[in-house]
Structure 1
Amino acid sequence: MAINVLIFEDNQNLRFSIETMLAWNADFNLLKAMPDANTVEETLVSYQPDVILMDIDMPGTNGINALKKIRATNRYVHVIMLTVFEDETNIFEAICAGANGYILKKNFDQIPTAIMDVMAGGAPMTSSIAKKVLSFIPKKNENHKQTLELLTARETEILEYVIKGFSYKMIANELNISVETIRSHIKKIYKKLHVNSATEAIYKYNQG
């Protein structure tokens, strides 16, 4: 079954390039490509996407505020941020708002792979962004034990695989359980840690 994708991108040329790239790939069903996110809540309800590609810098409602609106009503739709920004502030705000991935626009050719990765439970990021994310994840502190106590042994085991970059399918193979069981555990982990994405869960786990 094709993955339903919704795009919010104000750069017309880039938006058209992404539309064309996805249109030629049978794995994806492009629902709509929007030049802004001013009606993001209504659009989300109308189209029910699996994955959203969200530009950060847009007129009116910017991508991070749009993401916050999405997470207020939908914790599970996958959102990949598209941006020219590599600064820590935008990365941190996007992750805290519930982004599932972070791709630089200059690497837009990575989008199909990123979509497949996020649907498999990964947290796709351009390599330069991933390095910055690792740099601001704090080391475990004295409260780390309290965070661990919220999770069962199995949930902790699964989260540690997520931190290593394993997809849901890879974790399922390692633990010899179904992907659906992994998804069930991940939902419980998110609920216990009060987070919406793998990147948030990793941050919370390391922060304690």
Structure 2
Amino acid sequence: MIKVMVYEDNPQLREGLSMLINGSDGYEVVAAFKNCNNVVDEVEAFQPDVILMDIDMPGTNGIEGLKLIRQHNTTVKILMLTVFDDNKNVFEALKSGANGYLLKKTPPSRLLEYIHEAHTGGAPMTSSIATQVLRMFSDIQLPQSEDYRLSEREKEVLQFLVNGYSYKMIASDMNISIDTVRSHIKKIYEKLHVNSKSEAVAKAFKDKIV
């Protein structure tokens, strides 16, 4: 039996959702509320498996309620069920720990499938929302690694430093003198604006130089 809690301020919709879920084999609504004013205590008291969460509610709204729940409970599955399909609400909900994002126009049969999917570890989304999320990710510009103008030889030496090699080991592997290794490392420090091996290694990792 999947235990469901509903947060919805529209009494007709709240009642309709409860009737749909309770009338389906394997599902039970353990409680339904019109806002998230006491959400932490309610979740603790009823121990639901899945929460259907509206966003626009009087008092504590769904996004705020989601954040409050996640401060105390990271395991309960929370599905946003809303009319809002704008990027801001979608992003804020997913960033705050929602397990899925559904629009209220979702057909009843699909809603039950989505609840089951969330319960078994999925992340259901209305198809238009999923498309939106993919578009949001494709628009994110990944930071480019900074170009410190290291030569290929200097990058090779830096890679050895990252791997924990000593100056002597680097000289041996690269078949160059220790003085040449020191010269390379001096130039590396200057170009990376660091003063030690540990700083150089840290910057190599941070800025994905090698």
Q: Is the 8 A contact 1:100 1:124 kept in 2?
A: yes
The structure where helix makes up a greater share of residues is 1
Matched with 1:135 is: 135
Deviation at 1:121, TM superposition (A): 1.4
Tell me which structure has the larger Cα radius of gyration: 2
> What amino acid maps onto 2:103 in structure 1?
L
Whole-angstrom distance in 2 between the partners of 1:34 and 1:108? 22
**TM-score normalised to the size of structure 1?**
0.65
Matched AA of 1:135: R
SS in 1 for 2:106: helix
Give distance in 1, aligned partners of 2:92 and 2:61: 12
TM alignment of 1:3-152, pairs within 5 A? 3-109=2-108, 110-137=110-137, 138=140
Unaligned residue ranges in structure 1 (runs of 5+): 144-208
Matched letter for residue 119 of structure 1: H
Higher relative contact order (CA 8 A, sep 6+): 1
Other-structure match for 2:187:
none
Q: 1:108-152 CA deviation, whole Å, 9 max, x = no partner?
A: 522211111111211101011111111111366568xxxxxxxxx
Q: 1:74 to 1:25 in 2, by over 3 A?
A: same
The one-letter code sitting in structure 2 at the alignment partner of 1:116 is H
The question of whether the paired residues in 2 share the 8 Å contact of 1:55 and 1:81 is answered with yes
Runs (4+) of structure 1 exceeding 2 A deviation are 138-143
- CA deviation string 1:149-208 (max 9, x = no partner): xxxxxxxxxxxxxxxxxxxxxxxxxxxxxxxxxxxxxxxxxxxxxxxxxxxxxxxxxxxx
Q: How many residues align?
A: 142
1:21 and 1:133 mapped to 2: Cα distance?
28
- The amino acid that maps onto 2:113 is T
**Structure 2 unaligned residues grouped into runs of 5+:** 146-210
Alignment-mate amino acid for residue 90 of structure 2: I
Root mean square deviation, CA, Å: 1.4
Range moving further from structure 2, 90-99 or 109-118: 109-118
Quick one: distance in 1 between partners of 2:60 and 2:93? 14
